A and B are shown apart, each in its own frame.
Chain A
Amino acid sequence: NAGVTQTPKFQVLKTGQSMTLQCAQDMNHNSMYWYRQDPGMGLRLIYYSASEGTTDKGEVPNGYNVSRLNKREFSLRLESAAPSQTSVYFCASSEEGSASFLPYEQYFGPGTRLTVT
C-alpha cells in the first residue's frame, strides 16, 4: 500500500516550458487536492477534485490546470511555467465524498520540488 505517490520528485524548467505533475493514490479515496508550499506561507490550495470527473479552483489556481483522470489519478499541468511557480507541490487525498458530514484526514504525497529559471 503505497499511499499517495508523486512524480517527478525534482524538476527544473525554463520560463515558458510546460510540464505535468502526476499524482496517484491507492486508498480508494474520493477527494484529491493539489497544494503549493512556499517558505513562510504554509500550504495553499491550487485545485481540488471532490470526485472523479469534477474539479474546482482553490486559493491560487492561476497558471495551472488539472485533470482527474480516474478515481486514482489527479494531474497538475503548468502550460507556460513562470519563475513565480518555483515551489514545492504536494498532492493529497481523503475519503470525503458526497455522504461526508465531517472532514477526514488528508494524506499527503512526498512532494515535487519545481524550479523555474
Chain B
Amino acid sequence: AQSVTQLDSHVSVSEGTPVLLRCNYSSSYSPSLFWYVQHPNKGLQLLLKYTSAATLVKGINGFEAEFKKSETSFHLTKPSAHMSDAAEYFCVVSAYSGAGSYQLTFGKGTKLSVIP
C-alpha cells in the first residue's frame, strides 16, 4: 500500500520570498513521485517527476524537488514566489497496478497563496 501526506493544507508567502511545500510518502517499493499544480477552475498540470534517476528534480516555472529516501520526503521548493504561482499543489506517488498501468495516489493538496 502507498500513501502521501502533505504536511500543510495552506501556505502563504510574500511575492519574491522562497516557497516550501512539504510532502512525505509511504511506499512498499521504490516509488515514482510527482508534483502537480492546479490553478483555479482548471485541470491538473505536471510540475515535475522523480523516477529513480537524479534525486534533485527540476521542473517547470523554476520549481524543484528533492527525493530523500531516508526521510521519505519529496518537498517542493522555489527560490522566489511569483503571483502566478498561487494555486493548489498535489504531491503524488505512483504504483504499478498490472497490465502496464500505474495508479496514482494523491495527497490532499496544499493551497499556496502569494501576497503582493
Contact = CB atoms under 8 A, between A and B. Distances in A.
B87 interface: no
Interface residues of B, number: 26
Q: What is the interface of chain B mostly: helix, strand, loop, or mixed? A: strand
Contacts of A41: 108
A99 to B, nearest CB: 7
Interface string B83-110: 0000000100010111111111011110
Contact of B43 (A33, A42, A109): A109
Given A102-B51, A105-B46, A42 B99 contact: no
A8 interface: no
A43 B46 CA distance: 14
Interface of A: 4, 30-31, 33, 40-45, 48, 50-51, 54, 56, 58, 90, 92, 94, 96-100, 102-106, 108-111
